[in-house]
Amino acid sequence: MEVKKFMVIGAGQMGSGIAQVAAQAGLNVVLHDVKEEFVNRGLGVITKNLTRDVEKGRKSEEEKQAILDRIVLSTDINNAKDVDFVVEAVVENMDVKTAIFKQLDEITPTHAILASNTSSLPITEIAAVTNRPEKVIGMHFMNPVPVMKLIEVIRGLATSDETYRIVAELSEKMSKVAVEVNDFPGFVSNRVLMPMINEAIYCVYEGVATPEAIDEVMKLGMNHPMGPLTLADFIGLDTCLYIMEVLHEGFGDSKYRPCPLLRKYVKAGWLGRKSGRGFYVYE
């Protein structure tokens, strides 16, 4: 199957990035969200990214316009009726995701592949609400999507070899590297990353060091491009907490217990960059 029409559900930071790389790869893209203001904001982010590329000489004005012309905005889920491929990139919540997959299963053509950009939730469970579990797969893009090369591709219990092959080819077309991972809580990326972030938060909680000191140790001592607490703020502390809870529940191991300070910050509405305050204060 050749993928020509590509839909993204969710026009936030991840969804708009996925739409951008798909349009850059020459696909006709439908960028969908529940409100017009959300899709317009998503398109604004894409336009800003492409404008920066033009200013830096990485793209011409004509190339920028051609990419934008391949993106159509949608607030009606029924626009999925003639797509070949859908990537869902909404909030990291199983009930929300399964509700969307049930809808997509009814609306999309039978040949369409349904992918989730989930960063931690089981693909097998998402696939089980559809009548096409063999065509359901995880495509976990990294943030920021236009820059990061990796796509963690997660096979559910029923995902077919053909579905994986199409996703791997599509990833390459988007100038990404597909890495195959099996369906375990947190996959590889967040199973390794989130406990490190959680441990850094414990260091703040227990008074081992300040956030600045912890980040400096990891940057200068471990050659990380940014410290774990800066990264946590960038990801969103609510997302970090949710993934730690998925790991804790999925493995039943106390080493994945979310730090009480992480819970406290989330309850306070200190979610990081997006709320203006997390471990650091943002203007």
Catalytic residues: 119, 140, 152, 190
**Residue 158 in marked binding region:** no
14 annotated as ligand-binding: yes
What torsion, rounded to 10 degrees, do the Cα atoms 178, 182, 184, 188 define? -40
Residue 94 among known ligand-binding residues: no
Give the sign of the dihedral formed by CA 258, CA 260, CA 266, CA 272: negative
Residue 12 counted as an annotated binding residue: yes
Question: Alpha carbon 153 to chain centroid distance?
Answer: 12
Q: Is 272 annotated as a binding residue?
A: no
CA distance 70 to 168: 22
Residue 92 among known ligand-binding residues: yes
The answer to whether 97 is a known ligand-binding residue is: yes
Retrieve residue 79's tokens.
């626009």
On whether 10 is known to bind a ligand per the annotation, the reply is: yes
| Closest to 112 measured CA to CA, from 181, 167, 176 | 167
176: tokens are 């990404």
Q: Please name the residue ranges forming H helices in 154-274.
A: 161-173, 189-205, 211-222, 228-235, 237-251, 260-267
Binding residues for NAD(+): 10-15, 33, 92, 97, 119, 143, 274
Binding site, residues? 10-15, 33, 92, 97, 119, 143, 274
